[in-house]
Amino acid sequence: MALPEEWEAAPEPGWVAPVLAEEFPGLGIASTVVACGSGRSPAALRERLRELSNRFHGSHAVMLRQRPIPWAYRVFFRHIGLDPDQTRTPVEQVALDRMHDGGFKSRGVLEDAITIATIESGVALTAFDADMLQGRLGLRLLEPGERFAGRRSAMPEGTIAIADESRSLAILFGKMAEGVEVGRRTKRTALVAIGLKGVPDIALEEALWLGASAMRA
C-alpha cells in the first residue's frame, strides 16, 4: 500500500566538494523538506519521547560507542580534529542529556523529532529553514576570509562547512549562520542528515523518515 504523498520523505542527496570526497570517501549529505516549522510538541510526540525514555537506559549509553554507527561518527570526529569527548557526537549528546535529565525532555517539535530520529537511527541530523536555502545542500571547505552571517570574525580557512549553492550555512557539527536556523516564522524545515563511511544510506533515509514523520505527527 502506497503512503500518501505528503507522508513520503524522499531524501535529496547533496553534493560534496571533490577535495572532501577524496579525503573522506563515503562522506555525504542528504536532506528532506517538511512543510512545518517548530513549536510546542503535541501530546502524541511528547508521549513518544516518554516511551523512548523508558526504552533507553544507562547501559545503552555506555555501550553506545561500540555500536557501528555511533562508532563511525566518533571515528570521523577524530579524523577531522574534534575530540568526541569534548564536542559530543549528536547521538552521544542526546544520550548524555537523557542520563542527565532522567528522560528525554520535550523541547519543541523539531528538537523532539531530531532526538527520536537520532536515538533510533544513530545518524547525525540538523535542520535549516528551507525557505532561506538556495539550491541543493552540500559540504565544502571554507574559503580564506569567508564569513558567516552573524559572525564578525572570518572563519578559519579550511573549516568543513555545510553550504548551499550560494553561501555557507553552518560549521559541520557546529554553529549555524544567523537567519538559516528554524524559528517561529519557519514554514518549511529542511531536515539534513550527515552520512559517513560506515553509515549505510538506508540509515540516512531511515533517520530522515523518522524525523519527518515525527514532525508531521
66 counts as binding another protein under rule CB under 8 A: yes
Residues 185 and 146: their CA atoms lie apart, in Å, by 27
Q: Which stretch binds another protein (CB under 8 A): 36-44, 80-88, 114-122, 178-186?
A: 80-88
Q: Which amino acid is at 24?
A: F
- CB 66, min distance to another protein, A: 5
- Dihedral of CA atoms 42, 61, 80, 78 in degrees, nearest 10, equals 180
Q: Does 95 bind another protein (CB under 8 A)?
A: no
Distance CA 181, CA 169 (A): 9
Beta strands 189-195; 28-34: pairing state: antiparallel
Q: Under the criterion CB under 8 A, does residue 56 sit at the interface with another protein?
A: no
Contacts of 155 (CB under 8 A, 6+ apart): 142, 146, 147, 148, 161, 168, 171
Sole residue written with cell 537520532: 118
Does the footprint of another protein cover residue 79 (CB under 8 A)? yes
Does the footprint of another protein cover residue 153 (CB under 8 A)?
no
| Nearest distance in Å: CB 100, another protein | 15
Neighbours of 15 (CB within 10 A): 18
State phi, psi for 141 to the nearest 5 degrees: -90, 145
Residue 141 as a binder of another protein (CB under 8 A): the answer is yes
Q: Which residue among 6, 8, 23, 165 contacts another protein (CB under 8 A)?
A: 23
Q: Find the part of the chain contacting another protein (CB under 8 A) among 6-14, 43-51, 74-82, 183-191.
A: 74-82
Compute the least distance from the CB of residue 196 to another protein, in Å.
11
Would you say 81 or 145 has its CB closer to another protein? 81
Task: Tell me which of 85, 101, 165, 178 binds another protein, using CB under 8 A.
Answer: 85
Q: Is position 101 an interface residue for another protein (rule: CB under 8 A)?
A: no
Distance, CA of 18 to CA of 114 (rounded, Å): 29
Closer residue to another protein in complex, CB, 13/198: 198
* Binding residue (CB under 8 A) for another protein from 174, 200, 201, 213: 174
Does residue 137 touch another protein according to CB under 8 A? no
Cell triple for residue 142? Answer: 571554507
Which bin fits 108, alpha (ψ -120 to 50), beta or left (φ > 0)? left
Residues that bind another protein (CB under 8 A): 19-20, 22-23, 62-63, 65-66, 71, 74-75, 77-83, 85-86, 141, 156, 158-160, 171-174
